[in-house]
A and B are shown apart, each in its own frame.
Chain A
Amino acid sequence: MGLQFFHSYMLWGLSLFLLPILIHFLRRRRIQIVRLPTFEFLLRTQRRIARRSQLKNWILLALRISAVSLVAILAARPLLSNQGWAVGSSWSPVLLTLIVDNSASMAYRTGHGTRFDLAKRAAERLIQRLSPQDRVSLWATVAKESGRPPVLGKRAALSRLASIRQSDAAGRPFRTIQEAMSGTAAEVDRRSIIVLSDMARSDWEELRVRGLRRLLPHTRIQFVRVAPESGTQDIAVRDVRLRPWPPRANTPFVVVARIANQGEREREQVRVSLYLEEKKMDEAELNLKDGEEKEVSFRVLAPEGGIFRGRIEASPDKLIPTNLYYFSAEIGRKNRVLVIDGDPRRGLIESESFYISNALRAAPPGGNSPVHVEVAAGYEMGSVDWDRYDLVIACNVGEWPVDAAGLLRRFVERGGGLLWASGSLAARTVPGAGWLPAVPDAPYRMTPPQEAVVPVDSWDHPVFSRMGRNPSRLFSRTRLRRVSPLKSVGNGRVLLTLPDGRAVLVVGRAGAGRVAVWGATCDREWTDIPVRPVFVPFLRGLVDFLGSGAEGTVAGIQTGEPIEVRSKTYQIGEVVQVRSPSGDEETLRLERSPDDDRLRPPASGQKGAEGGAVLARFDGTFRAGFYEIRKPDGLELIAANIPPSEMILASLGDNELRDRLPGIDLTVRSIRADDSEPVGAIEGWMDLGVILFLFLAAILVTEGRVADRS
């Protein structure tokens, strides 16, 4: 049983107990002087009443000090806790405010189910102990419904507890406590707040003293740490990236997954598998020390088209949700390539555009080429609409029309690709001096035929992704009869050299785009590469690399984040179906967006954002997996994954919790996995205001009577 004060700062008013004493001395200063002949009678009077009068004065002083002190205590609103009393026989019905953590980290498995299961069982035990008059306010740290949940009786509370599900989203315990506090503010005198959580640091990071101090100076919170464990085990898939992004149909792409050992033990032979459309595509094994993080890459061929769903799955451990990572991608459209032929007067056979077009248009058996090729002459560059292309191949372009070089540079810096190929004309005039990753180092010259060599450190470069493990082998029979050696500048990376090490192919970045500088021609004039088997995979690799833009991080949402489905304004009122990973379906209606901005272009990179001014918002992304959004204009697939914060299992220590909440009356206890620990004491609060007010009234009446009595 403990006493607390709602407005403890009002206790400073207790210093007012000096007031009666002060008044007494002030009165003595205003004493009147009376000369009286009947002094002797007064003396006898005083002798008679002296003892009684003194006693009365002391009583009066005590009563007045008590009255002033009681006023201060009343202002501080005293609350008496009946903690430790038998529940069910308390002096007033209890409002048990239970906050159950159902965030993703609570899925950590213990000996008897997950921590969430344990928390639910503990909550159930608490509710079972209540008397029929007691009430329960049940809160989950991850809940779709906002606002105050209903205050329930014992049976209804048990039913509601059963309906609380494990979530894959990040918890918001602090906000939940705030809401629970304000939601039960009216019953402050009888509520008992118990938080059942694993106290995962990530969730409680937002717990700050200032915010909580404003709310809880008068309330005791019992934190119940659920199944704390040392030596935790958790392999987590942190994220997944796809190269290139988006994957092109029927083209290889790389899935890179970052795997981290979040636990406190070393893990060996961790299996990491890639699934595409629920089909296991590849598998890798790796060893991870505690706290170590590694990347795993899988190279696969992209499907024909549409949206595909993929999943990275690590070996199961105690926290399964973090072993999975879902991703989806829409197969990108064809690479649009513009070949600018700087010397188109020659015959077709001798033209670079001939070799390039044929190499890129080649389709796999039964399929279509992923590349769309157009050819333009160098003098036509002034009329080119650069935005229609993903990649420009400038072959032996020696003359650049006015502003063409500048337009080309802007095109590249906005994300376009450029393959600059040398030649007798091009070697004299380089348009991109200053922003290309390489420049001709010396005038081209005839050399004894030499093979091209791929430096070993570039074997795994995406350009050579179609050439197996040793691309140099394919280049070993090629001959470069004439070459314009290159000098790498800036961020340029040499991918091909002459045997003497001089660079002939350098790639690099310019703004958001990629650029490759080739020191020979793309026809047979300087080299026989265009007629060698290596040419097609080499050129395809170059085009895929240059035209695919940045390496893509798989877009998606974190569980708990809302999905905002945007659509065109004319679709207002139409229905959007959302199918969650658990199979539940919810129907939303497109409504006018509160931030209606018809002129705003679609937000790039924002999943679900289609621009426009109508919006449907889905808030129930509490499970990791794929959410299918069926809009009037098609299907959208959004992958939801556990927030990285939920992968941190380290919990907030007791002392750290107390340090963060100085002045707050809190208790921290733990319950073990075997349910053997008592959950906590249910506290009831009694507002002593009425009792003390009556006491004060009695004191005042007594004081009045004693003062009047002579």
Chain B
Amino acid sequence: MNISGRSKNQSEETGRFFDPSVVARISNLELRARHVVEGLMSGVHRSRARGFSVEFEEHRPYTPGDEFRHIDWKAYGKFDRYLIKQYEDETNLRAHLLVDASGSMDFGDGPMTKWEYAATLAASLGHLLLRQSDAVGLVLSRESDDPFIPAKAVRRHMTALLSTLEAERPGGGTGLARSLIQLAEGLRRRGMVAIFSDLLEDPESVRRALRLIRLKGNDVVVFHILDAEELGFPYEGLARVEDVETDRNMTVECEVVRDPYLQILQEFLDTTRDHCRREGIHYVLLSTAEPLDRALVRFLAWRSKLRM
């Protein structure tokens, strides 16, 4: 696959850009995102597709972060509310990035935790989309009260995305299914929803929520992020295993439980993948040890397939 237009050699040269251990050294999330995207796009022929439309479609309430110039002052005079004029075909794509900020994401033995990996990946994708003048929004999935940043296509919007991601500290229980349903209900237009999560919630709830989003006509891509330790269970001997989100713990003989654990994990992954395939959801399983470009490349390949 040569979606990015890079040769193999180029890929090797730029591979260091996506190595999590290298990326992890960059403390600033924006720099990380740019680092990843620039590395990815360094060999890609730029063909910026614009396609603006100025045909008014509807008003929507003003939310912090919206540019003042988009406020419809006439409507303000009429309704005494700040309303933003929205135009049809304003952007090529309206993408919402849903990043899981539950406690289970704050885990990782490698250079990056799952949260850092997900945030970096989400930022990189947002950067990539904004470069293409696509509108990008952000939802942080918490146990409750999810922060939401509406999708915009201006480059300055990236600052709001990044600051939200950087300010977030994962913790608490998971609320992914609820966040997905909320998002599905909030989306007025079809677009793309990219989910960055370990999906460690009741699988059935998550599947129903994904199905709901998909039924609303959105293109959905799930970046299923797991740590290498979760995928391999490399522990030895006797271990007391504690749940990162609850107080539960148990003592196990690692060698004894490894195979059954991996079997159950594989069943979980297979079931999730199958469900996504059935629902037309693009599913990308990622390990925090994998280079970050893999996800982006697969994302671009998926997008290009959709446009054909």
Dominant SS among interface residues on chain A: helix
Enumerate chain A residues within 8 angstroms of B248, measured Cβ to Cβ.
39, 43
Contact B256 A56 (CB under 8 A): yes
Interface residues of B in 79-107 (CB under 8 A from A): 103-105, 107
Taken together as a complex, chains A and B put the C-alpha atoms of A37 and B198 apart, in Å, by 9
Taken together as a complex, chains A and B put the C-alpha atoms of A36 and B114 apart, in Å, by 12
Taken together as a complex, chains A and B put the C-alpha atoms of A42 and B242 apart, in Å, by 10
Interface flag for A15 (CB, 8 Å)? no
Interface flag for A531 (CB, 8 Å)? no
Taken together as a complex, chains A and B put the C-alpha atoms of A39 and B251 apart, in Å, by 11
Interface segment out of the listed B52-60, B116-124, B232-240? B232-240
A-B pair number, CB within 8 angstroms: 98
Interface flag for B204 (CB, 8 Å)? no
Contact B235 A38 (CB under 8 A): no
Taken together as a complex, chains A and B put the C-alpha atoms of A710 and B245 apart, in Å, by 28
Contact A45 B264 (CB under 8 A): yes
Contact B242 A33 (CB under 8 A): yes
Contact A45 B240 (CB under 8 A): no
Taken together as a complex, chains A and B put the C-alpha atoms of A42 and B257 apart, in Å, by 8
Contact B107 A35 (CB under 8 A): yes
Identify B237's interface contact among A32, A36, A40, A43, CB under 8 A.
A32
Taken together as a complex, chains A and B put the C-alpha atoms of A38 and B232 apart, in Å, by 11
Enumerate chain A residues within 8 angstroms of B255, measured Cβ to Cβ.
710
Contact B256 A42 (CB under 8 A): no
Enumerate chain A residues within 8 angstroms of B241, measured Cβ to Cβ.
34-36, 39, 42
Identify B257's interface contact among A30, A35, A710, CB under 8 A.
A710
Interface flag for A210 (CB, 8 Å)? no
Contact B238 A45 (CB under 8 A): no
Dominant SS among interface residues on chain B: mixed
Enumerate chain B residues within 8 angstroms of A46, measured Cβ to Cβ.
250, 252, 257
Interface flag for A570 (CB, 8 Å)? no
Contact A36 B230 (CB under 8 A): yes
Taken together as a complex, chains A and B put the C-alpha atoms of A45 and B233 apart, in Å, by 12
Contact B237 A39 (CB under 8 A): no
Interface flag for B258 (CB, 8 Å)? yes
Closest to B253 in A: A53
Contact B257 A32 (CB under 8 A): no
In the complex, how many angstroms separate the beta carbon of B80 from the nearest chain A beta carbon? Answer: 49
Contact B256 A32 (CB under 8 A): no
Interface residues of A in 323-380 (CB under 8 A from B): none
Interface flag for B129 (CB, 8 Å)? no
Contact B264 A41 (CB under 8 A): yes
Identify A36's interface contact among B243, B259, B260, B268, CB under 8 A.
B243
Contact A42 B237 (CB under 8 A): no
In the complex, how many angstroms separate the beta carbon of B257 from the nearest chain A beta carbon? Answer: 5
Contact A41 B104 (CB under 8 A): no
Contact B250 A43 (CB under 8 A): yes
Identify A38's interface contact among B251, B258, B265, CB under 8 A.
B265
Interface residues of B in 260-307 (CB under 8 A from A): 260-261, 264-265, 268
Closest to A43 in B: B250
CB 8 Å contact bits of A11-50 with B (1 = contact, 0 = none): 0000000000000000110111111111111111110110
Interface residues of B in 200-259 (CB under 8 A from A): 200, 226-227, 229-230, 235, 237-246, 248, 250-253, 255-259
Closest to B104 in A: A37
Enumerate chain A residues within 8 angstroms of B244, measured Cβ to Cβ.
35-37, 39
Identify B240's interface contact among A31, A37, A49, A56, CB under 8 A.
A31
Contact B243 A41 (CB under 8 A): no
Contact B230 A38 (CB under 8 A): yes
Taken together as a complex, chains A and B put the C-alpha atoms of A19 and B25 apart, in Å, by 49
Looking at A30, A39, A48, the one whose CB has the most chain B CB atoms below 10 A away is A39
In the complex, how many angstroms separate the beta carbon of A706 from the nearest chain B beta carbon? Answer: 11
In the complex, how many angstroms separate the beta carbon of A216 from the nearest chain B beta carbon? Answer: 49
Enumerate chain A residues within 8 angstroms of B251, measured Cβ to Cβ.
31
Identify B261's interface contact among A30, A45, A56, CB under 8 A.
A45
Taken together as a complex, chains A and B put the C-alpha atoms of A41 and B261 apart, in Å, by 6
Taken together as a complex, chains A and B put the C-alpha atoms of A34 and B233 apart, in Å, by 10
Taken together as a complex, chains A and B put the C-alpha atoms of A27 and B237 apart, in Å, by 8
Contact B260 A34 (CB under 8 A): no
Contact A32 B239 (CB under 8 A): yes
Known: A36-B242, A38-B261, A57-B253. 17 other contacts (CB 8 A): A27-B238, A31-B237, A31-B238, A32-B239, A37-B198, A37-B244, A37-B245, A38-B230, A38-B265, A42-B252, A46-B257, A49-B256, A49-B257, A710-B255, A710-B256, A710-B257, A710-B258
Q: List 24 A-B contacts (CB under 8 A).
A: A27-B237, A27-B238, A30-B237, A31-B251, A32-B238, A33-B240, A35-B241, A37-B104, A37-B105, A37-B107, A37-B227, A38-B200, A38-B265, A39-B242, A39-B248, A40-B243, A41-B261, A41-B264, A43-B250, A45-B257, A45-B260, A48-B260, A49-B257, A56-B256
Q: Which residues of B contact A (CB under 8 A)?
A: 103-105, 107, 114, 198, 200, 226-227, 229-230, 235, 237-246, 248, 250-253, 255-261, 264-265, 268
Q: Which residues of A contact B (CB under 8 A)?
A: 27-28, 30-46, 48-49, 53, 56-57, 710
